Amino acid sequence: MIFKKQPHLFILKGCGIFYFLIFFLAGCSQGLSVKETRILMDTFCEISCYSPDRDKAVRAVGEAFKEMQRIEKVFSKFDENSEVSKINKIAGLENIKVSGEAFRLTERSIYYSRISDGAFDVTVAPLMEIWGFVRKHKSMPDKDDIENALKSVGYKNIELDSKKLSIRFLNKDTKIDFGGIAKGYAVDRAKDVLVSNGIKNGLVNLGGNIFALGNAPGKKNWKIGVQDPRKKGKLLYSFELTDRAISTSGNYERFFEIGGKRYSHIINPLTGEPCQGIISVTVALDSAEGADALSTAIFVMGEKKRPYFGKIYQRHKDSDT
């Protein structure tokens, strides 16, 4: 097993069963705090706020959760009434007018595809289906099924009309899946809601997609630790974040097993196969959306493309890094 390290980008390579956890190292018991945890987007969501005005913090946390629930309704692939489900039903046949929000997230997803040479790709949905992530099944797909699904996969199959705010898929079987970016997007929007409610310090954590707003009480920043998946309780690295986000993509929490072998839920859109070899990738950036998309992309790209990571990092780097 190899551990590779770069500025604000960490890749763990190897195989086996590992336990991973991100945890906060400071500030949880200081100041006037409000902390609430709910289940959202199929994972745990925790929002913490620190403010001298407790009522304001309670209101802010409630509104931030409301915003995330709204986003889940728009982007859920499991809800057949979501906007994404409607797009998937219609856009392969004809143009569909969509909300500005769905249009812009699609546009930005295509941007992340371009800068990762197609490693991140929201059109991975047909592959997620045949590998059994949508309707769970326990058999390997045929090579022919994979080849067939691959014909409809590829971000270049998405045609956008920014004047009409419409989407059209150039292949009738193309479908989109925002699973690799929607959590980060929701975290950014929740953080915006906290800020618009006058909150200066807080944390939003949706399944390892974290935005650290301001600083921990009495500290200069938020210190967020990444636990070593090889050694429970041991810290691998800690990030000192202020108004920045962190996201981890891993294969130890979401995966499926066929014949005793683990398959990751992150699929290489170029080969149609689940990615293997890397345990987790953690990315820190100025937005949770960017960190989410790029941690998924880098999980696919693997360490062979390490020179490329610098390029991605460069494009997203904050002025202070």
* Backbone torsions φ then ψ of 168, nearest 5 degrees: -140, 135
75 binds ligand AMP (CB under 6 A): no
Q: Which stretch binds ligand AMP (CB under 6 A): 97-105, 146-154, 255-263, 294-302?
A: 294-302
Sheet holding 166-169, edge to edge: 96-97, 166-169, 158-161
267 binds ligand AMP (CB under 6 A): yes
64 binds ligand AMP (CB under 6 A): no
Q: Which is nearer to ligand AMP, 201 or 248 (CB)?
A: 248
Taking the C-alpha atoms of residue 47 and residue 49, their distance in angstroms, rounded to an integer, is 7
Chain centre distance of CA 294: 8
Smallest gap from Cβ 156 to Mg ion, in A, equals: 21
Site string for Mg ion, 277-296 (x = CB under 5 A): ---------------x---x
The site partner of 229 among Mg ion, ligand AMP, none (C-beta below 5 to 8 Å per kind) is none
249 binds ligand AMP (CB under 6 A): yes
Structure tokens at 160: 């956008």
Radius of gyration from C-alpha coordinates of the chain:
20
- Considering CB under 6 A, how many residues would be counted as binding ligand AMP? 18
Burial 114-132 (b: 16+ CB within 10 A, else e): ebbebbbbbbbbbbbbbbb
Closest CA to 209 of 134, 290, 266: 290
Structure tokens at 319: 């002025």
Q: Which is nearer to ligand AMP, 169 or 299 (CB)?
A: 299
269 binds ligand AMP (CB under 6 A): yes
296 binds ligand AMP (CB under 6 A): yes
180 binds Mg ion (CB under 5 A): yes
188 binds ligand AMP (CB under 6 A): no
Which position among 215, 292, 298, 312 is part of the footprint of ligand AMP (CB under 6 A)?
292
Closest CA to 165 of 247, 83, 244: 83
88 binds ligand AMP (CB under 6 A): no
272 binds ligand AMP (CB under 6 A): no
DSSP string, 55-122: HHHHHHHHHHHHHHHHHHHHH-SS-TTSHHHHHHHHTTTS-EE--HHHHHHHHHHHHHHHHTTTSS-G
121 binds ligand AMP (CB under 6 A): yes
The residues, any chain, with a CB within 8 Å of residue 191's CB and separated by 6 or more, are 64, 202, 204, 211, 213, 288
Residues of this chain that interact with Mg ion (CB under 5 A) are 180, 292, 296
List of residues contacting ligand AMP (CB under 6 A): 120-122, 124, 128, 177, 179-180, 249, 265-267, 269, 292, 295-296, 299-300
